Structure 1
C-alpha cells in the first residue's frame, strides 16, 4: 500500500489582500490536502529556517514535501504541481526556459505588489458593501 505524499508548506503574507485572495483560492481547490498554509505575517508565525519574518513576507516561499525550500516562481510551480487542476501549468513551467521567464515576471511584479495590494484592500470593503444580501442572511 503506497503512503500519501507529505504536504508542501506554503508560506504567505496574510497582511497582503492580494496574497490572501490567491492563497484562499489555492486552499479551496486543494481537495486532497496536499498543501499546508502558514501566514507569516502573524506574530510568532513559524518561518522557514534561515529566513526572518520580513524576508518570508517579501517573497513567496514553499517548503516542498521533499524538504527543499523554494521561492518565487519555483514556489508557485510547486503549488501548481500539488493541485490537480493546475498540474498543466507546472508541466508548462518545466519546459526549457519557462521557469526563468516566470521568475523574471515575478521579480517585475514584486515592486508593484504593494500598490496592487493597497488598491485591492480599498476595493474589497466597497465590493462587500455593494453586494446585495440574500434574504435570510
Structure 2
C-alpha cells in the first residue's frame, strides 16, 4: 500500500478544473506525492464507481481509504503545506458542519447539474437550419 494521495475529479468542469489544476501545479512544483486523475480519462471502476457517480463530488484516496466531499478536501489540504491551515480550520466542529452542509446541499449538486447540462449540450444534435 502506498501513502500517495490520489484525487479523482472532473477536469471537464470549469469550477473543478480551476481549483484542482491549481492544487496540481502546487503539488508538482513542490514534489508532493499527489496524483490527480480525471474521471473522464481514468477508469473509475478502480475507484468503485461509475463516471456519473464520480462526477457528483470530489474523491480522495489515501492509505487505502476513500474520502468524498469536505473530508476529501481536508485530506488533500493536509498533504499540502500551504493549505494545512485550511484543513485545520475546516476540521473544527462548527466550520466542518457548515462546510459539509454547504458542499453537500448547494455546491456539489449545483456543479453536478452544470455537468449534466454540459453533457446534454455535447450530445444533442445541432439545430437544423431549413
Q: 1:84 aligns with which of 81, 85, 102?
A: 81
More helix by share: 2
Give the 3 Å change call, closer, same or farther, for CA 97–34 of structure 1 in structure 2: farther
1:41 and 1:57 in contact (8 A); partners too: no
The answer on 1:69 being equivalent to 2:66 is: yes
Q: Which residue of 2 aligns with 1:14?
A: 11
Number of aligned positions between the proteins: 110
Q: Which residue of 1 aligns with 2:122?
A: none
CA shift for structure 1 position 112: 2.5
CA shift for structure 1 position 115: 4.6
What are the ranges of 5 or more consecutive residues in structure 1 without an aligned counterpart? 119-137
2:32 and 2:80 in contact (8 A); partners too: no
TM-score computed with the length of structure 1 as normaliser: 0.72
TM-score computed with the length of structure 2 as normaliser: 0.75
What are the ranges of 5 or more consecutive residues in structure 2 without an aligned counterpart? 118-130
2:56 and 2:109 in contact (8 A); partners too: no
Q: Which residue of 1 aligns with 2:31?
A: 32
CA distance in 2, matches of 1:94, 1:18: 23
The answer on 1:103 being equivalent to 2:86 is: no
Give the superposed CA RMSD.
Answer: 2.0
CA distance in 1, matches of 2:72, 2:47: 16
- Secondary structure (helix, strand or coil) at the match of 2:35 reads strand
